[in-house]
Amino acid sequence: MKQLPLPIVRLRPNAKPQVIRHGFPWVFANELVMDRRTKGLSHGGLVVLEDAERRPLGLGTINPTSKIAVRLLDKDPEAQVDAAWFATRFQRALDHRARLYDAPFYRLIHAEADGLPGVVIDRFGDVAVVQPNAAWAERQFDTLAAALADVTGCTTIIKNGTGRARSLEGLEEELTVAQGQAPDGPIAVPMNGATYMADVMGGQKTGLFFDQRPNHAFAAQLSKGGRVLDVFSHVGGFSLAALAAGAEAALAVDGSAAALDLAQRGAVATGVADRFETRTSDAFDALEALGKAKERFDVVVCDPPAFAPSKAALEKGMRAYERVARLATPLVKEGGYLVLCSCSHAADLKRFRDACARGIGKGGKRGQLVYTGFAGPDHPLMPQLAESGYLKALAFRV
């Protein structure tokens, strides 16, 4: 059946079409001709994008009420977004992950970088958790899910429609099992020699943060035979990897008792529960209390949530990162290591590094930067889109 002609949307004369031709995947609302017809287009519908001279730039999807008005899906303006189109992208993504990992536990789709703007998919064996964070993906979800199951063989597909990104697209929150059955409890995930417990139906985001995998591994190397403090630990990301690598002991601190319960269960599954301790507390309060108690650790890791999720929050976020570094620094033994992380899109590497250095200095120490890490290769970076390279991890010898 031949597809009906798609609506055409056009760049303003002062927009820069070469940016789109070179691979940038977004058109902002102020770059688009927003006449009455364009404003009336269906949210998440397909459109053909043209430059001001009416030359086609590709196939996109429109959301007239979003700051990101158009997301580019395909350079071919005549492409058909159907099951085969999704399957091609899923197979390409799967081929890459299969080269990297022996077991099917990874981020399968990392949004724009994997050719599916606004879509995140994490895989936990036969379970896939999909975050359709853009209006077009919400509309195409059934086709997307069917192609995902066909290509990967996943028998359970969970739709995790929660989070700030969906609200920016005008989408409602929902968490449903789209295919198969919900897992009977947390899923055991092998990673870096440890076993993590992922609550895919009730945990943060998709249930586990795969992006820190290489940084967990590096910090674990530093931790052998030492005492480790893992602050903002979630389900024990850094601490369990450290214990699996031979750390003497680890203390995990998080504000969520539920997350720490999963961390404790992971410690049992890993066989390191006798060396693992948890503390439910506000992270800043815990850092101050440990400092007053003169506690010292061979490795201190702080992996906070995004303190600077937007440019508007940037300065406040930088002060928060600096404060973390200032409070954590005195807890590190002489010659020990301080690992500081940021998942803030708005904070670039230099700005984050400078904030950490200031905090270490205000903490009364000097830091020797020995490692700079990013998200693992299952979180590919789209060079044209800085936001896809959000994660930074810095290890300082104090």
For residues 352 and 344, is the Cβ–Cβ distance under 8 A? yes
pLDDT at residue 204 is higher than 90: no
Q: What's the chain's average pLDDT?
A: 95
d(CA 141, CA 277): 42
CATH code 3.10.450.50 for 8-74: no
β 56-62/45-50 pair status: antiparallel
Task: Identify whether 356 is a catalytic site residue.
Answer: no
Instruction: Show me where the domains of the chain are located.
Output: 8-74, 83-179, 204-397
Q: Among the options 154, 302, 343, 356, which is catalytic?
A: 343
pLDDT digits (tens, 9 = 90+) for 124-165: 999 999 999 999 999 999 999 999 999 999 999 999 999 888
Domains 8-74 and 204-397 alike in fold? no
pLDDT digits (tens, 9 = 90+) for 345-393: 889 999 999 999 999 999 999 999 999 999 999 999 999 887 778 999 9
pTM of the entire structure? 0.95
The pLDDT of residue 4: 66
Report residue 3's pLDDT band, with 50, 70 and 90 as the boundaries: low
pLDDT digits (tens, 9 = 90+) for 299-341: 999 999 999 888 899 999 999 999 999 999 999 999 999 999 9
CATH code 3.40.50.150 for 204-397: yes
- Please state which of the ranges 166-180, 184-198, 222-236, 268-282 shows the lowest mean pLDDT: 166-180
- Fold for 83-179, please state it: Transcription Regulator spoIIAA (3.30.750)
Dihedral in degrees, nearest 10, Cα atoms 99, 105, 111, 115: 30
